[in-house]
Amino acid sequence: MTVVVVESPAKAKTINKYLGKDFTVLASYGHVRDLPAKDGSVRPDEDFGMDWEVDGKSAKRLSDIAAALKSDDRLILATDPDREGEAISWHVLEVLKKKGALKGKEVHRVVFNAITKSSVLEAMQHPRQVDADLVDAYLARRALDYLVGFSLSPVLWRKLPGSRSAGRVQSVALRIICDRELEIEAFRAQEYWSIDGTFTTPQGAEFQASLNSIAGKKLAKLDIKDEASARAIEQAVKGQPFKVDTIDSKPAKRHPYPPFRTSTLQQEASRKLGFSSSRTMQIAQRLYEGVDIGGETVGLITYMRTDGVDMAPEAIAATRNAILKNFGEPYLPSVPRHYTTKAKNAQEAHEAIRPTEMSRHPMAVRKTLDQDQFALYELIWKRTIASQMESAELERTTADIGTEGRDGKHYAFRATGSVVKFDGFLKVYSESLDDGEDEDSRRLPAMARGDSIGVRKLEGVQHFTEPPPRYSEASLIKKLEELGIGRPSTYVSILETLKIRGYIRIDKKRLIPEDKGRVVTAFLESFFRRYVEYDFTANLEEQLDKVSAGEINWKDVLRDFWKDFTAALEDIKELRVTNVLDALNDILAPHIFPPREDGGDARGCPSCGNGQLSLKLGKFGSFIGCSNYPECKFTRPMSPGADGPEAVPAEGVLLGVDPETGEKITRRLGRFGPYLQLGEAAEGEKPQRASIPKGKKPEEITLEEALRLLSLPREVGIHPETNKPIVANFGRFGPFILHDGTYANLETPEDVFTVGINRAVDILAEKKAKGFSRPKPGALKDLGPHPDGGGNIQVMAGRYGAYVKHGKVNATLPKGTDPQALTVEEALALIAARAGKEPTTKKKKAPSKKAAAKKAPVSGATAKKAPAKKAAAKKSAKKTVKAKKPKAA
């Protein structure tokens, strides 16, 4: 008997059917152990010793594997065919060795690129050992990510209050997004004009052409700078006869694209299907692990985390047969096509992403797949088929239409177009573009040199240069791949981590950096520039690739990195916050101090008139304040908004007077946003204040609305059963009513002022019937069982906002996410990112509040000995706890 270990239960079930009764196939459910999220898990001063921790669920699964081995004599590790899969096999092997479960057992490693019976049985005939070089590359990558996170993040917490953690690769991706935003903000539009015409051939066919040259000199894009120049050209050619100066037709070919690799699949699925990167990979995982077809679970595509673009010879042959069958001989090239990737540092050990059976047409499996699965499978099938088809043949035509101007100069207008003579692979597939149009879609009517050309319309058209577009998920992945940053298995986690930390948001599929993300990036660029440089990160990835190829030692890579990195950490320890703020003010100036409409000093305080605005760091994040504080208390949020900073003086904007008290009502701007205030603060007392509800523009608040908001909370009435009051108000999650510790949401903001006692009692009864109550946290939504087990996934309402919960893993929802609209797939991505990627620290007992607040984790190589007095207090506080942390160096 043989025990086979794979990652997922779905995969285990399918492979067990293929192998039969002599095999026991068990799932590890992904990684079985990881570095504990605490300081000291990687110890540079002990030759990079690493501590690993097995969580409770994985411990149970490993025990099941060990128990199965008692009656079996062979173990086969059949995890995924990539670095992560190799690492999982190594972890399983190491744990089983410690358990003594492998004595007298054969251990083999097998890999297969597709979950089909033939692929699995073929792999079983070619076992090998766990690849030590791939494991070393994994260990180096994991150690680097840990050391950067647990050494750099505490620096951020001390120097940038309100910031979260930093990562080795995520910080570079964030810099790419922030750099693009700075480009957009620093961009100044330039006016230019084009002279466009609608012309007709002698046969009456219309076509478009634009001015291309004057007196034989080709026009550049910005050569016609203003309306006066454009009108002068119009007058020079108006009423003049036009004819065809030249017409040139050339044959051209368009060649098919390679089959998909991970990055191109994510890009095309985003463009064509509107899928996020995480959604694409979730669907691809399902297609890879298999679907039920005729009572048998069959994997529909090959492994979906790959840099490779070529296919196995038998797959190429099957693709060519499918082309011949479905499209005929003219679409089949005489020789097969072979591709090589152009991506930097690509690993081509695996095939491209393709259907496991090219004869399996998408329509043949349409009924067995849901809508998204079918769409992605069809996309993969078409791309694979097209990759082996004939090139498309086109005819590109360029016509120059000329006239002699009234000023004696020759003016030439150019028209271009293409005609598809043979569609070739375009019959099946055409790749989408991120930005711009495909020029091959335009076509010119027939004309000949010397033909007289009529003019229907001729005019100057004003244009303005446009800033570069923000990155989409697809274009960011493309950029990361071009730079050699990240790998197929990391693209999704990079984006998810940035969203979870609140460093970016997505609006209309474009990635926009949040203020906290911009502050972190500006800080790293100023004081850790080397570690967010594109070339440095790409070169480090290249070194890790050399480790996986067995060319260099993994600990040598770590030693070289750690030596320079710790030196950089030491340099910044004594850095003052004023130095940090000065640097951030300069880098972020286009964003936080945009030019004023009146041409005045962008950093001049609009309240006191002689102070200078500067970035300030508060407990809850960054804001803009005046240098004359505390005399001038002007503040505003870091982002001034599309219309520039609102000049709200320290005494606020007067809205009117309260008719009952005679007190002034003002609208003010604090570090946490706009609010309303009644009267002035008496000594030792706070004035009455009210927040402005979300979605309401502060400048649109009227005196009447301000009076209503300041009257809150509103007592709706007395509950007939408890004789306790019901009150209505606005809160973090919108309008609500509260009764005896139970909160219930109201449908609209207006309900706060209009809901009656009967309706309020009904709403509370409905809420109670559903089992929700506060202040105890409750589930806002139950998403059902997790596919890997361990109970249901729930969306919870927490003190600091909504979060998704599974077992002991809590993952905060990205800013702006509607808890009620969260899908299972989105929840799984958040849970996976939180459980496997983001380090957290646990608070330890300390002798004083100051120590608890200030102490931040540092590596064993840079830790300092605590004073004897503090050490004694710590020892006393933890008298009964066994110490696991090594002594500080």
Here the tokens at position 500 are: 């979870």
Among 705, 698, 714, 706, smallest CA distance to 664 is for 706
Strands (E), 679-834: 688-691, 714-718, 725-731, 734-739, 742-745, 779-785, 792-798, 801-806, 809-812
Cβ-based neighbours of 338, under 8 Å, separated by 6 or more: 310
Concerning whether 800 is annotated as a catalytic residue, the answer is: no
Task: Please report which helix (H) or strand (E) contains residue 397, including its range.
Answer: strand 392-404
d(CA 461, CA 231): 10
d(CA 799, CA 775): 9
DSSP, residue by residue, 297-333: EE--B--SS-------HHHHHHHHHHHHHHH-GGGS-
- List own/partner pairs for 778-782 with CB under 8 A and 24 or more apart: 779/805, 780/819, 780/820, 781/819, 781/820, 781/822
- Amino acid of residue 823: T
Here the tokens at position 49 are: 């010793």
d(CA 408, CA 405): 5
Beta bridge partners of 796: 779, 803
- Amino acid of residue 698: P
CB-based burial of residue 665 (10 Å sphere; 0-12 exposed, 13-18 middle, 19+ buried)?
buried
CB-based burial of residue 737 (10 Å sphere; 0-12 exposed, 13-18 middle, 19+ buried)?
buried
Q: Alpha carbon 496 to chain centroid distance?
A: 5
Here the tokens at position 658 are: 């309260």
Cβ-based neighbours of 185, under 8 Å, separated by 6 or more: 590, 591, 594
Here the tokens at position 156 are: 């951020």
d(CA 734, CA 307): 46
**Strand, coil or helix: what is 73?**
coil
Here the tokens at position 473 are: 């998920």
Q: Are 488 and 262 in contact (CB under 8 A)?
A: yes
Q: Are 59 and 67 in contact (CB under 8 A)?
A: no
How many CA atoms, within 13 angstroms, populate the side-chain half-sphere of residue 478? 13
Please report, for residues 214, 244, 454, 752, the alpha-carbon distance to residue 200 in angstroms, rounded to integers and kept in the order given.
21, 11, 5, 66
DSSP, residue by residue, 645-706: -----TT-EEEEE-TTT--EEEEEEETTEEEEEES-PPTT-PPEEEEPPTTS-GGG--HHHH
**Strand, coil or helix: what is 289?**
helix
Length of the chain: 889
Among 278, 309, 262, 183, smallest CA distance to 473 is for 278
Here the tokens at position 257 are: 């694209």
- Per annotation, catalytic residue among 303, 471, 491, 503: 303
Count other Cβ atoms within 10 Å, centred on residue 614. 19
Residue 290 dihedral angles phi and psi, to the nearest 5°: 120, 150
Q: Are 648 and 668 in contact (CB under 8 A)?
A: yes
How many CA atoms, within 13 angstroms, populate the side-chain half-sphere of residue 6? 19
Q: Are 258 and 309 in contact (CB under 8 A)?
A: yes
Strands (E), 31-178: 33-34, 42-43, 49-50, 53-54, 74-77, 106-109
Q: Are 32 and 62 in contact (CB under 8 A)?
A: yes
Give catalytic residue positions: 303
